[in-house]
Amino acid sequence: MKILVINSGSSSIKYQLFEMPQEEVIAKGLLEKIGEEKSFFIQKSKKGNLELEGATPTHEEGINFIINILTDKEKGVIDSIDEIKGVGHRVVHGEEEFVESVLITDKVVRRIEEYAELAPLHNPPNLMGIRAAKKFLFATAQVACFDTAFHHSLPNKAFLYAIPYELYEKYKIRRYGFHGTSHLYVYRRLSSILNKQQNSLNAITCHLGNGCSIAAINQGKSVDTSMGFTPLEGLVMGTRCGDIDPAIIFYLLEKGNAPQDLIKTLNKKSGLLGISGISNDVRNLSWAREKGNERARIALEVFSYRLKKYIGAYLAVLGKTDAIVFTGGIGENNPWLRKDTLVGLESLGIEIDEEKNSKATKGVESEVSKEGSQIKVYVIPTNEELYIAQDTYQIVQAQNKV
């Protein structure tokens, strides 16, 4: 069964076409700079790499373009769209309603639209991808997989904020958590690597990309996570501030800053970019630090220090921790970050092997802890698309049996 996975962003569409249940990637690609003067497209498949440029004004035209490429007589990898039996969509926010992946109905679309106010940067483009796919693949089952779903198991002591309870009841203001598909995927891989039942492991998973979050997982269930009501809370990120004193916002408002400008500042101009004044890209900052740039050095130190504090907190939350996992573009490809974060935690049972750690940089599952380390440390490349494909396949299979 062929399953198409779509991750629709504000100006890009990432996709993978899987053969399930074999979990074979038939093709994967990226269409970016949608709505700009020139869009860029790249696809990798058994037929080789394909790179194209041209204008793609809307997400709808982008989805149509991708489908046409997949079915093209010369460049395509399938003969007809009828071969695609399910489409899985990444959706960032499902509020308290969606605790697992679901078949998309008109009601589900309305709910995703309603919850867009909780994830204004993510849910609207997710919806654009859903609506476009439903138009061009109208006879194909569509499935929504929610970033928030995995964290539904958080206890109220972890998800409640210390504000009047009526605000939670009326507006559902609480910690939701995000990157759930990534945290769950690497946790499952860790269980497989250690040859243990998923409900027997305690782990701390660190998803570190342009967006960053960390989760404490107790016997397969998320019990705490750093992102909160929105994806702005928690760790320092590429352009997001993470944890700050909320009074800062009121102070800046009193100084004449407009609310919309503050939202943009905290989401788009803060984090590594804000501190360094150079870039949100760790590769650029690492290079600048080596050249003696002081603000780049400080930005990277703040990044790893905040991560270390969260790891320490989650060690306390879990009590017994079997492993720590680094994933995401930053977590997978920066040995210095893993070392800077974990150095000094030897008394807590975490010992990193510098030689193993230095070699774990190319997207390969690797243990980077010393042989006698009480808590194991792993680098596990995330694969959110595969997780979405697995859920979509199961839902389509169940639907076909009804």
Query: Which residues have a catalytic role annotated?
Result: 147
Alpha-carbon distance 142 to 292, whole Å?
51
Q: Both tokens of residue 172?
A: 């559902």
The strand pairing partners of 366, in sequence order, are 379
Check if the beta carbon of residue 154 is closer than 8 Å to that of residue 177.
yes
| Complete edge-to-edge strand list for the sheet that includes strand 202-208 | 221-225, 212-218, 202-208, 323-327, 376-379, 366-367
The β-bridge partners of 142 are 87
Amino acid occupying residue 177: G
Which residue type occupies 104?
I
Q: Are 123 and 177 in contact (CB under 8 A)?
A: no
* Of residues 126, 129, 117, 125, the one with CA closest to residue 172: 117
Question: Which residues have a Cβ under 8 Å from the Cβ of 276 and sit 6 or more positions away?
Answer: 285, 288, 293, 295, 296, 298, 299
- DSSP string of 317-368? HHSS--EEEEEHHHHHH-HHHHHHHHTT-GGGTB-B-HHHHHH--SS--EE-
Q: Assess contact for 46 and 26: CB atoms under 8 A.
A: yes
Q: Distances in Å between the alpha carbon of 283 and those of 59, 292, 327?
A: 30, 15, 16
